[in-house]
C-alpha cells in the first residue's frame, strides 16, 4: 500500500460511485475533482455518496439529498448517513437508533413532497454502513456487528445481528463489499475474507502504512484516510 498526502483538510470523508466527498471542521462540503477540492453549497456535519446519490446530515440532525445541485430536505432526523448500499440509504440518529430507506424511495426522492419512509432496525448503533453483501456497524461500546440479507427491497435484512470480534469506533463498507474500520487508538484495519459466501469475513489486518486515523472510506482501489488533525491521505490498495 502506498499512501500520498492530499492537499486540504477534512474531518470526515466518503468515497463511492467513483466520487469522493467530505466535510471540514466548519461543516463546509467538498468534492474532489482531479486533484482539487471544490466547495459545494450548504453546510453538513456528515456527507455520503454512493449508488443512491449524495446524502448528508447537518449539526441539527436534519437529512438532505443533493438533487439537481440543490440540497433538498428529507423527512426524519439522522446524524450519520450512508449511501453505499445497493441504491438504498441507511443511518443512525442522535440516540443511536438505526434506520434504512429502501431503493425505490431513496432513488426517487426528488422534492420535499416525495415519500421518504424510514424503517427502524432493532438494536442501537453509533455508526452504520452498507455494501452489496452486508451492512456493518458499531455501538457506543465499540462492539462490531454485521447484518446479512440486506438489499434494495429488504433494507432491514433477513438475519439477526452477528457479533464480530474486535473493537472499532467506526466502520465503512465499500461499494465492492470491502470493509475497513478505525479503533479508539486510531489504528486502521481491513476485514479479510469477505465474500458472498462468507459476508462476515475471517479476521482483521492492521494497516500500519496508514498511520493514525479517525475516519476512512474506500472505493475503486483507493482507501481515503483522515488523520486526527484532519489531514487527508490517499492510499492505493
Q: Give the span between the Cα atoms of 14 and 40, in whole angstroms.
A: 15
pLDDT band at 158 (very low <50, low <70, confident <90, very high): confident
pLDDT for residue 214: 98
pLDDT for residue 57: 98
pLDDT digits (tens, 9 = 90+) for 10-42: 999 999 999 999 999 999 999 999 989 999 999
pLDDT digits (tens, 9 = 90+) for 94-153: 999 999 999 999 999 999 899 999 999 999 999 999 999 899 999 999 999 999 999 999
Q: Give the span between the Cα atoms of 124 and 227, in whole angstroms.
A: 27
The three cell numbers locating residue 118: 424510514
pLDDT for residue 91: 98
pLDDT for residue 159: 84
- What pTM, to 2 d.p., does this model score? 0.97
Radius of gyration from C-alpha coordinates of the chain: 16
Amino acid at each position: 500500500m502506498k499512501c500520498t498526502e492530499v492537499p486540504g483538510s477534512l474531518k470526515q470523508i466518503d468515497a463511492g460511485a467513483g466520487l469522493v466527498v467530505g466535510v471540514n471542521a466548519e461543516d463546509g462540503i467538498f468534492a474532489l475533482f482531479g486533484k482539487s477540492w471544490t466547495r459545494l453549497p450548504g453546510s453538513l456535519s456528515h456527507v455520503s455518496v454512493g449508488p443512491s446519490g449524495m446524502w448528508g446530515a447537518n449539526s441539527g440532525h436534519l437529512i438532505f439529498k443533493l438533487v439537481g445541485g440543490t440540497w433538498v430536505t428529507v423527512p426524519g432526523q439522522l446524524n450519520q448517513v450512508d449511501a453505499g448500499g445497493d441504491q438504498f440509504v441507511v443511518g443512525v440518529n442522535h440516540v443511536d437508533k438505526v434506520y434504512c430507506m429502501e431503493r425505490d424511495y431513496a432513488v426517487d426522492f426528488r422534492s420535499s413532497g416525495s415519500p421518504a419512509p424510514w424503517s427502524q432496525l432493532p438494536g442501537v448503533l453509533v455508526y452504520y454502513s452498507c455494501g452489496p453483501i452486508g451492512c456493518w456497524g458499531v455501538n457506543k461500546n465499540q462492539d462490531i456487528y454485521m447484518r446479512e440479507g440486506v438489499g434494495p427491497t429488504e433494507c432491514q435484512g433477513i438475519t439477526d445481528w452477528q457479533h464480530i470480534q474486535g473493537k472499532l469506533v467506526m466502520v465503512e463498507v465499500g461499494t465492492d463489499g470491502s470493509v475497513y474500520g478505525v479503533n479508539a487508538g486510531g489504528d486502521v484495519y481491513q476485514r479479510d475474507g469477505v465474500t458472498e459466501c462468507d459476508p462476515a469475513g475471517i479476521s482483521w489486518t492492521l494497516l500500519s502504512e496508514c498511520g493514525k486515523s479517525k475516519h476512512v472510506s474506500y472505493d475503486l482501489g483507493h482507501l481515503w484516510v483522515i488523520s486526527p488533525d484532519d489531514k487527508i491521505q490517499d492510499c492505493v490498495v
